[in-house]
Amino acid sequence: MDREPILRHFDAVVESRPSDALAQGNRGYCLLKLGREDEAVAAYQRASEIGRDEPAHAYDLACLYVQLERINDAIAAFQAALHIDPDFAPA
């Protein structure tokens, strides 16, 4: 699957709606699938900052950190998700 057009779409969405945490997260996912891990981390971090009231964004960041073997960062992000919502089952 060619993710470049999808990434360009989310780049445009993020540019026009910079406070859209979901678009930031989706952009991060595309970047990850394209092997652009550092950019993916930045996008997921931004999604987590923007959507600080939604535990799913911190959880997604935590999962990315696990995948990248950044365990201390993953633990902190999982804890952030649980701080937002102690009943958030995935975390």
- What integer pLDDT is reported at residue 91 of this predicted model? 72
Q: What is the pLDDT of residues 2-60, one digit of tens each?
A: 888 899 999 999 999 999 999 999 999 999 999 999 999 999 999 999 999 999 999 99
Backbone angles phi, psi at 71, to 5 degrees: -65, -45
Q: 69-78 long-range CB contacts below 8 Å, 24 or more apart?
A: 77/48
pTM of the model as a whole: 0.90
* Residue that the structure tokens 């699957």 belong to: 1
Q: Which pLDDT band holds residue 90 (cuts at 50, 70, 90)?
A: confident
Q: What is the pLDDT of residues 58-77, one digit of tens each?
A: 999 999 999 999 999 999 99
